[in-house]
Structure 1
Amino acid sequence: MKFLTSIQELISYSDLARLLIAFVLALPVGWEREKETRSIGMRTFPLVSLASCGYMLIGQSIVGDDPEALAKILYGLMTGIGFIGGGAVLKENGSVHGTATAASIWNTGAIGAAVAFQRYEIAIALAIVNFGALRIVPTLKKKIIPLDKAKN
């Protein structure tokens, strides 16, 4: 019996480690949004990643390795996160704002899910690309768009 208890404790620590990893991987995205004075930032993005990881870990413990059941859980999770992201999109005076924030919310959900499935390479790639898209692409955009407008 003691052997089974130690295995369960090891699994618990593994789950806690995954939850922590999911939280930490989303912090740079949250920091970037916070730095840009967006309404969603350092708390929201890591919590979305953490919750996504948690839901998938709970799902795995309930349905085991059933790919169809896990896909349904993942589908529901990503749909729900899409609704959260939708709340970040604002349309006013013919322009739309918040799409990068909404996409980043969705992406941090995917980071959490990837960590839950121990696909750390995917989670890390998503985190790096998301952070890069928020930090580097706007600078490139400022350099490229004025050139295009000058041609017209």
Structure 2
Amino acid sequence: MDLQQIFYHFYQLGIAFVLALPIAFNREHSANGAGLRTFPLVAISACAFMLVGRDVYEDGEAEARVMYGIVTGIGFIGGGAILKTSKYVVGTATAAGIWLVGALGVSVAYARYEISIVLSIMGFIIFQFAEPMKKQNQSDEV
């Protein structure tokens, strides 16, 4: 591996990290669970797994298996964020956000920066501005 490739991978991991931050900051300030540590770690991990898969495997089928493993694994992590009581289910938005930053990381690994930027912006907007509407709806029903 040459120095240029090392810097390129560092660059890509940095992009995944930075694009996960808006969502992470929002979740850190509005949720008790995943936040500033979890969301960037999921994004850079998904990116790293995909970067390794792209470098190690030359055919698309093997890369697809790596991506399948990432999607499944992140779904498993997100499932751990969901808590159900007799009256409420909480953590589904956090689980979806974890999945979203995983997709963000994979899109960065494939240099599909337009997708990752849109995921970051839309995820932040949804978490930032949909929460007040949700609370209003819940208070109407209770």
Fold match, TM over 0.5?
yes
Identity of aligned residues (%): 46
Distance 1:100 1:130 in 2: 10
AA matched with 1:134: F
CA 18–69 in structure 1, closer or farther in 2 if over 3 Å, else same: same
Counterpart in the other structure of 1:46: 40
For these two proteins, the number of residue pairs brought into alignment is 140
Give yes or no for the alignment of 1:105 onto 2:98. yes
Greater than 3 Å deviation, 4+ residue runs: 140-143
Q: What is the TM-score when the length of structure 1 is the normalising length?
A: 0.86
Give yes or no for the alignment of 1:121 onto 2:136. no
Judge which range, 116-125 or 32-41, deviates more: 32-41
SS of equivalent residue, structure 1 residue 136: helix
The structural deviation recorded for 1:130 is 0.7
For 1:50-89, what aligned pairs fall within 5 Å after superposition? 50-64=44-58, 66-89=59-82
Q: What is the TM-score when the length of structure 2 is the normalising length?
A: 0.92
Distance 1:103 1:76 in 2: 17
Q: Pick from 5, 8, 20: which aligns with 1:11?
A: 5
1:18-45 deviation line (CA, Å, top 9, x unaligned): 0011011101111111101321100000
SS of equivalent residue, structure 2 residue 124: helix
Q: CA RMSD in A?
A: 1.7
Structure 2: runs of 5+ lacking an equivalent: none
The structural deviation recorded for 1:93 is 2.1
Q: Which has the larger Rg?
A: 1
AA matched with 2:65: K
Counterpart in the other structure of 2:85: 92
Counterpart in the other structure of 1:24: 18
